[in-house]
Amino acid sequence: MDEMTLSVTTAAVRVDGLSRRYGAIRALDEVDLTLERGITGLLGPNGAGKTTLLSVLATVNEPDAGRVTAFGLDPRDAGERREIRRRLGYLPQELGYHRHFTVAGFLDYVAILKEITDRRRRAEEVARVLAAVGLERRARTRIRALSGGMRQRLGIAQALLGQPELLILDEPTAGLDPEQRLRSRELLSGLPGDPVVVLSTHQADDIAAICPKVIVLLQGRVHFAGTPAELAATAAGRVWAAGERDARAHLSWRGGDNRWRHVGDRPPAGAELVPPTVEDGYLLLSHAAGAR
């Protein structure tokens, strides 16, 4: 069975010809993609359309054209949209907390919105997600008293309520310190039930660490879809190291070893090529697309 056939048969979420405009701005331009179970990383600069794409996948935003299906369900149908939402966990980029809520009160509120009406089950579910993000000792704390990182973890916690099959996380690691980022990697990679997770982030190393698949979105279009290794491989032969800065490189920086690392299309003859990373592949793609 070739890869294309495999993709068709296992795709949990399909996006075909998706377009969305905000006035004169084209946020999404005929996006086609498939998402399988497991974690898919979504990379792209600010304004590339990531948040719009995620909000459409989360059924909170209506596309101008194109079609989305999740688990075979079409969100244009009210009943099917509701069924998708029953299986959905969504962390928007700007969550918008009710600041007077306590941590437990907020999660209890979201659990009710997720149709967990039984009080006992709600308490169990709230306790479960609090433990998952390490906030169980903060249940009584008011949200306004939490640090930015804790609020972000609370955002992840609310998305995990109800053990969703489709988890859409818009920059979940923004504002987290290194340890918290590693813990969030641990959490996301160990989710039970093998859900479909879409993770939008600016952290290429998060993608390389936990995502079997990565999508690069530039100017509202999908410019790459594949594995992190494949994305890194697109930069093969275009990353080199040197003792001096090279003006031919698109981007250069001096490393801790005091040598310059260059990323560009035309390495000089005899350059010391170095193994590319996901970040290098992404930089070259976005440069080629003129997104930066």
Partner 1 sequence: MTSPSSAGHRPLGDGDWHASPDTLAAYARGQAGQADGADQADGAPAWSVEAHLAECPRCRSALSAHVAPERLARNRSVLLVRAALGDESRVKRALGRCGFPDHVLRLLAATPSLRLSWLLSVIGVLAVLAGEAAAARYGWIPAVGHGRVHAAGPGRIGGYPGQGLAPFLLVAPLLVLAGVAAAFLPAFNPAGRLEVAAPCSGFTLLLVRTVCALGTALVLVVAAAFVVPGPGWLPVALLLPSLALCAFALAAATVVDPRAAAVVAGILWAGPAAWLAVDHVPLLIAAPYAQLGCAAVLCAGVAVLLVRRDRFEWGWMR
109 binds partner 1 (CB under 8 A): yes
60 binds partner 1 (CB under 8 A): yes
Beta-carbon contacts of 107 under 8 Å, excluding residues fewer than 6 positions away, are 126, 129, 130, 154, 157, 158, 161
Which of 140, 258 has the CB closer to partner 1?
A: 140
Q: Which of 252, 260, 264 is nearest to 288 (CA)?
A: 264
* Interface residue with partner 1, options 117, 190, 247, 257 (CB under 8 A): 117
67 binds partner 1 (CB under 8 A): no
Which of 90, 224 has the CB closer to partner 1?
A: 90
190 binds partner 1 (CB under 8 A): no
Supply the DSSP string of 198-243, one letter for each residue.
Answer: EEE-S-HHHHHHH-SEEEEEETTEEEEEE-HHHHHHTTTTSEEEES
Burial of 227 (0-12, 13-18, 19+ CB in 10 A): middle
80 binds partner 1 (CB under 8 A): no
144 binds partner 1 (CB under 8 A): no
Contact status, residue 53 vs residue 222, Cβ threshold 8 Å: no
- Applying CB under 8 A, which part among 120-128, 215-223, 240-248, 274-282 lies near partner 1? 120-128
What is the spatial distance between Cα 188 and Cα 38, in angstroms, rounded to a whole number?
10
3-state secondary structure of 146: coil
74 binds partner 1 (CB under 8 A): no
* Helix or strand run (H / E) with residue 9: helix 3-10
- Applying CB under 8 A, which part among 124-132, 240-248, 257-265, 270-278 lies near partner 1? 124-132
DSSP E strands in 10-131: the ranges are 13-22, 25-35, 38-43, 65-70, 88-91
- Applying CB under 8 A, which part among 137-145, 208-216, 220-228, 242-250 lies near partner 1? 137-145
**Residues in contact with partner 1, total (CB under 8 A)?**
49
- Applying CB under 8 A, which part among 92-100, 144-152, 232-240, 242-250 lies near partner 1? 92-100
* Interface residue with partner 1, options 34, 152, 158, 203 (CB under 8 A): 158
Q: Which of 185, 181, 223, 166 is nearest to 50 (CA)?
A: 223
Contact status, residue 68 vs residue 15, Cβ threshold 8 Å: yes
Which of 112, 273 has the CB closer to partner 1?
A: 112
Q: Which residues bind partner 1 (CB under 8 A)?
A: 55, 58-62, 78, 81-83, 85-86, 88, 90, 92, 94-105, 108-110, 112-115, 117, 119, 122-124, 126-128, 130-131, 136-137, 139-140, 158
